[in-house]
Structure 1
Amino acid sequence: MITFYSFCWSVIISSICIIILILFRRNSRFLLNFNLPTLLFLFLLCMIRMLIPFEFPHFQKIIDSHTYSFIMKPYAILSAHYSYVLSAFIIIWIIGIFYFFYRFCKRIYLSNLYLHNLKKQTSDIAMMILAQIDAHHKLSAFYSESIEVPMVCGLFHSTIYLPTYNYTEKQLYHILLHEYTHYKNRDLWIKCIIQIFCIIFWWNPIVYLLCKNLDDVLELKCDATLAQDFKDEEKISYLETLLYTLRTVQNKQTLYTQKNFLTSAFIKPASENFTKQRFQYLLNGPKKHSHFLNYIGIVLISIFFFSSYYFLLQPSYEAPREELWGPKTTNVIDASNSYLVPKDAHTYFLYYNGNIIDEISAEEVNASFNYYLPIKNQEEK
């Protein structure tokens, strides 16, 4: 069952995970000790937690009568018009999804149109090197003066675009191997899925940080995949190719703009800190004990993920006792003398002093601030 509170709780938990992820991704020491699988696993859990905001019957509710109650007060005021507010929220959400999906498709179209009309020429030497890497590859390779950095693009017919720099054959091999690895790992498809995830949750600014940081993690993962087969001399040569490209871009007036969308570039000229992190990761590599710490990290993250489904944050309001007990007050229903017992999936029995006094719908329990009573099984009552 999905309720308003389970949805809000899911957004809160996912946002916390994303913030933790960003902090970890920016910390080179963490990457060297915990490796990339832990980080990618956390990415996956962030997405799953936000996509599955279910509430289960035996939730342990965390009642917050201060900060969270203050935040949720507008919802409480509008609870009488719950169905209308919910309908309006869903309509706005769907309109936003269609709008951002249209923008997404338009950007892909303009990017493909830009690359299609690009002045380019086939690179025979690049195709020869690609054949050495994989004789059965289905990639194309072109040179163009309008391209700033080497990149691969295209979900169905992937193409590598190369700038007209004076690369040596060894440097060209490193570049093509890097872009081929992106292609082989289906990184462009992963980026596409993340973009769709951002479209679905367009109203949450934190998911855009998730998208940006995932792009960086995929780049680090590509470097790590290559470094596994590189000797120290090969790593240095690979880093020199990165450095040469970076310096050439910075010293060149390029026609390239940010028109290219959904691509994997060899290097990001504007991201100096991330480039330094790539160098540190390639030179130092993950620690020998990182696999053990990796497993511990995955176990701890999994425990946090599943336990987040066991608890549910809800607001509450406790009226002053003098307001409850007036001169003519005989009974007050509260957690000390009352509780709820599920009758079926849609109804609860309300018990007062051990006796059934009413039936309450699940919708009313979830939507109203008035029912913050413990929920018990038939065996516990």
Structure 2
Amino acid sequence: MLFSVSSIFITLVMSTILILLFELFIAQKNLIRFLRMDVMILLAIVIIVRLLLPFEYAFTITVPFPWVMNYIRDFLNFKLSASFSVLNLLCLIWGIGILVQLIQYIQNIRKCNLIFSILKDSSVHKCVSDYIETPPKFNYSVWFAEDIESFMVIGFKKVIFLPKIELNDSEIQDIIKHELQHIKNHDNLIKQIVNLIKIIYWWFPPVYWFSKKIQLALEMRVD
């Protein structure tokens, strides 16, 4: 297992190709019917794993690109001072960017926890079994709140939030089934892993394309 500039470059190239394929499949409804959403989620997992493990392995087939890698290597090894190269500068910028993104992520988590605690006190508390039949292990809380505009599940809290608006029993049941399936599929975990990837690769545009499309794919799988 080798981590190097070459392995990062290969990871970025392969991930870009896979993300473009993912976007193409999502945009083509006929392809989705043929491939099924499970295949799309599997492709998303392959992209996630490749980005999280940007290494070269013993079984990796490396295609040499001397006409590209030689120029990249020379550029990265260019000395800005006696002991500080372009590669050192880029790694420093990368690390600072990760730290900034991580701080923002922690702040967002704190905001979510604050919102959760506020809604806990101001909501009407029900549970899934009040509306549909479900095994005890899936009998999560259902909270009706005036301060939200749409149904959702916040973070890792297995609580289904619904706005306190006029809904008939059938509409409530459909919403609960939809959100319950998200919980069963561990979609929030997938979203948080994608957020982690965005923190690490904050400078890599295809990651943001992928983030938008994976959320759409998760919704399509549930629907």
Q: TM above 0.5, one fold?
A: yes
Task: Summarize the alignment of residues 121-270 of structure 1 with structure 2, pairs less than 5 Å apart.
Answer: 121-124=123-126, 128-129=130-131, 132-137=133-138, 139-155=140-156, 157-223=157-223
Displacement of 1:200 in angstroms is 1.1
User: Does the CA contact (< 8 Å) of 1:138 and 1:158 recur in 2?
Assistant: no
Percent identity between the two aligned chains:
24
CA distance in 2, matches of 1:125, 1:193: 28
Q: Which whole-Å CA distance do the structure 2 matches of 1:211 and 1:162 have between them? A: 25
- TM, length-normalised to structure 1: 0.51
Q: Is the 8 A contact 1:153 1:159 kept in 2?
A: yes
- Aligned-pair distance for 1:74? 6.5
Instruction: Kindly report which structure 2 residues correspond to 1:1-381, keeping only aligned pairs within 5 A, or say none.
Output: 1-50=2-51, 51-54=53-56, 59-64=62-67, 68=68, 73=71, 75-77=73-75, 79-81=77-79, 84-118=85-119, 120-124=122-126, 128-129=130-131, 132-137=133-138, 139-155=140-156, 157-223=157-223
In 2, Cα distance between the equivalents of 1:95 and 1:152?
31
Runs of at least 5 residues in structure 2 that lack an aligned partner in the other structure:
none
Return the structure number with greater helix share: 2
Deviation at 1:58, TM superposition (A): 7.0
Q: Which has the higher contact order (CA 8 A, sep 6+)?
A: 1
Query: Which digits, 9 at most, give the CA deviation of each residue in 1:212-249, with x for residues without a partner?
Result: 111111111112xxxxxxxxxxxxxxxxxxxxxxxxxx
Give the CA deviation at 1:192: 0.8
**8 Å contact kept, 2:129–2:139:** no
Change (3 A) 1:60 1:162: closer
- Aligned-pair Cα RMSD in Å: 2.6
- Asked if the contact 2:126–2:141 (Cα under 8 Å) also holds between the matched residues in 1, the reply is no
Change (3 A) 1:94 1:20: same
What is the distance in 2 between the residues matched to 1:172 and 1:150?
10
SS of corresponding position for 2:137: coil
What TM-score comes out, normalization by structure 2 length?
0.84
Match of 1:166, SS state, is coil
Q: Deviations over 1:105-144 (max 9, x none)?
A: 11121123134324733244765125x2233335222212
